[in-house]
């Protein structure tokens, strides 16, 4: 049952008609008192709640009613109904525990999608204990058994079959894209398109063409029609990586398609509807960016109905042996050789490293060591020979900031101190080609030892 709370009889009737046709049973309430009386003895599946019940438009009545409802039915999802002029109030409501908000006049498809998602999450949360021991096939790429990782995968299991937007947070190199893929592959959209978009690599001038597509002749050099990323992801999922890098102009353009599920390609006046699940990821602190005016608050609440935080590797060191074994197996398959054995001393050494680059850094170190030390058993000495410490930004005091050229010169000298005149090892450790290394040595007038 869905409880509809609005002082406008026309709104109540309209919502009741839409939900009734969709197969939902509804109950109606016109005043906060009626709502309170209802929830004091019955908790519905979901509550649709207006923010204002008198001539006042402050929204205080709605926020107060929300707090009372949360006392009687703390787990029941609440979707707020608001006018465009009170979006700020709706954001306050979400902070106070509401699930989502819709604006008047509403889009029936968007409304029903939000209701379906909220009810699915509510029902899935009640089944959480039954899902704790599951390990879907879609998790096969995610290596580890640590409690923190198990908690993440349990969350993914619960939310995957809903249509809720998901925000994946965590440091660079923690595996946010793998979590996004697992959400998609565990969902009802499995087998449908999973479209990845690196928002940090799209300029403002190309954003609309890239995301929404364009018609032939829409701008100079638009010689052919182009399908945008959202249209590619229709009926599937779209992964918006590095969403924290999006500038404010593009944020506005993105908000509309997330809110209404509609867009127009450049050069086309025909509005198109898209059904896609939104999965976003960032290593930035979005709440802090919202506070600093660098990220839209309404967009923030649109993309993070569910937040999944991926732990850093230093928080799950017990997974390092499994990860190293997996990387060694993959390397052997790629090279067509027998898998190298990693000594216990090597694992102990690897567990002591800080890993500012997380799993990506660990894999780089393992792959490089296996390539440059082609032995049947790899020891801690082999890893020590290949390891180059890369301090994180948090470890560098402001007064010690150097120019890029100075840092590059110092890293080259450090690599030379480790590898002597072994040109190939120096180039590999620095991630440079042999020719590029020669040019850097010449640029900084650095001589290799005899």
pLDDT in tens, 55-102: 666 777 888 889 888 877 888 999 988 775 556 676 788 888 888 888
| 399-420 confidence digits (pLDDT tens) | 445 567 778 888 888 888 878 8
User: β-strands 100-104, 78-83: how paired?
Assistant: parallel
**Tokens matching residue 139:** 């998790």
Give the range among 134-143, 311-320, 353-362 with minimum mean pLDDT. Answer: 134-143
User: β-strands 237-241, 277-282: how paired?
Assistant: parallel
When pLDDT is cut at 50, 70 and 90, the band that residue 46 belongs to is: very high
Average pLDDT, the chain: 87
Write down the pTM of the prediction. Answer: 0.67
| Residue indicated by tokens 């001539």 | 55
Is residue 348 pLDDT above 70, yes or no?
yes
| 24-40 confidence digits (pLDDT tens) | 999 999 999 999 889 87
When pLDDT is cut at 50, 70 and 90, the band that residue 378 belongs to is: very high
Say whether 100 sits in a helix, a strand or coil.
strand
Give the range among 11-20, 26-35, 117-126, 133-142 with minimum mean pLDDT. Answer: 133-142
Say whether 262 sits in a helix, a strand or coil.
strand
Q: What is the DSSP string of 326-390?
A: HHHHHHHHHHTSPPPEEPHHHHHHHHT---TTHHHHHHHHHHHHHHHS--SEE-HHHHHHH----
Instruction: Write phi, then psi, for 420 (nearest 5 degrees).
Output: 60, -130
Please report the pLDDT score of residue 81 as a whole number. 85
In contact, 196 and 239? CB cutoff 8 Å: yes
Span 150-167, average pLDDT: 89
Helices and strands: H and E segment counts in the chain: 20, 16
Q: Which of 225, 224, 201, 197 is nearest to 211 (CA)?
A: 197
Please report the pLDDT score of residue 92 as a whole number. 80
In contact, 16 and 26? CB cutoff 8 Å: yes
Please report the pLDDT score of residue 163 as a whole number. 86
Burial class (CB in 10 A: 0-12, 13-18, 19+), 365: buried
| 269-309 confidence digits (pLDDT tens) | 899 999 999 999 999 999 999 999 999 999 999 998 889 99
**Tokens matching residue 433:** 């080609």
Span 423-443, average pLDDT: 81
Q: What is the DSSP string of 14-29?
A: HHHHHHHHTT--EEEE
Q: How far apart are CA 135 and CA 415, in angstroms?
A: 43
Is residue 136 pLDDT above 80, yes or no?
no
């Amino acid at each position: 049952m869905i409880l509809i709370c609005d002082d406008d009889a026309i709104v109540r009737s309209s919502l009741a008609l839409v939900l009734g046709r969709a197969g939902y049973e509804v109950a109606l309430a016109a005043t906060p008192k009626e709502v309170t009386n209802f929830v004091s003895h019955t908790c519905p599946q979901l509550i649709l709640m207006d923010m204002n019940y008198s001539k006042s438009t402050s929204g205080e009545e709605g926020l107060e009613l929300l707090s009372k409802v949360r006392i009687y039915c703390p787990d029941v999802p609440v979707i707020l109904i608001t006018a465009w002029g009170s979006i700020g109030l709706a954001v306050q409501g979400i902070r106070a525990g509401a699930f989502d908000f819709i604006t008047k006049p509403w889009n029936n498809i968007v409304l029903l999608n939000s209701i379906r998602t909220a009810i699915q999450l509510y029902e899935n949360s009640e089944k959480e204990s039954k899902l704790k021991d599951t390990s879907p096939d879609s998790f096969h790429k995610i290596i580890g058994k640590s409690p923190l990782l198990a908690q993440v995968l349990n969350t993914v299991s619960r939310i995957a079959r809903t249509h809720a937007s998901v925000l994946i947070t965590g440091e660079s190199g923690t595996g946010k894209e793998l979590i996004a893929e697992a959400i998609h592959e565990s969902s009802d959209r499995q087998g449908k398109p999973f479209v990845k978009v690196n928002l940090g690599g799209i300029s403002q001038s190309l954003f609309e063409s890239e995301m929404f597509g364009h018609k032939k002749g829409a701008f100079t050099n638009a010689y052919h029609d182009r399908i945008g990323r959202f249209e590619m992801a229709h009926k599937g999922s779209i992964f918006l990586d590095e969403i924290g890098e999006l500038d404010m102009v593009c944020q506005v353009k993105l908000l509309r398609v997330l809110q209404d599920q509609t867009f127009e390609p450049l050069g086309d006046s025909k509005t198109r509807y898209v059904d896609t699940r939104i999965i976003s990821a960032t290593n930035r602190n979005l709440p802090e960016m919202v506070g600093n005016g660098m990220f839209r608050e309404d967009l923030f609440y649109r993309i993070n109905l569910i937040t999944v935080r991926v732990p850093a590797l230093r928080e799950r060191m017990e997974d390092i042996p499994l990860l190293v074994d997996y990387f060694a197996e993959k390397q052997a398959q790629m090279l067509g050789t027998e898998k190298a054995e990693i000594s216990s001393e090597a694992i102990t050494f690897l567990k002591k490293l800080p890993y500012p680059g997380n799993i990506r850094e660990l894999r780089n170190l393992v792959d490089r060591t296996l390539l440059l030390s082609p032995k049947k058993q790899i020891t801690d000495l082999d890893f020590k020979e290949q390891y180059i410490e890369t301090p994180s930004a948090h470890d560098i005091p402001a007064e010690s900031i150097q120019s890029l050229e100075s840092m590059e010169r110092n890293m080259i000298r450090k690599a030379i101190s480790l590898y002597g005149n072994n040109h190939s090892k120096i180039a590999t450790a620095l991630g440079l080609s042999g020719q590029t290394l020669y040019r850097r040595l010449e640029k900084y007038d650095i001589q290799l030892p005899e």
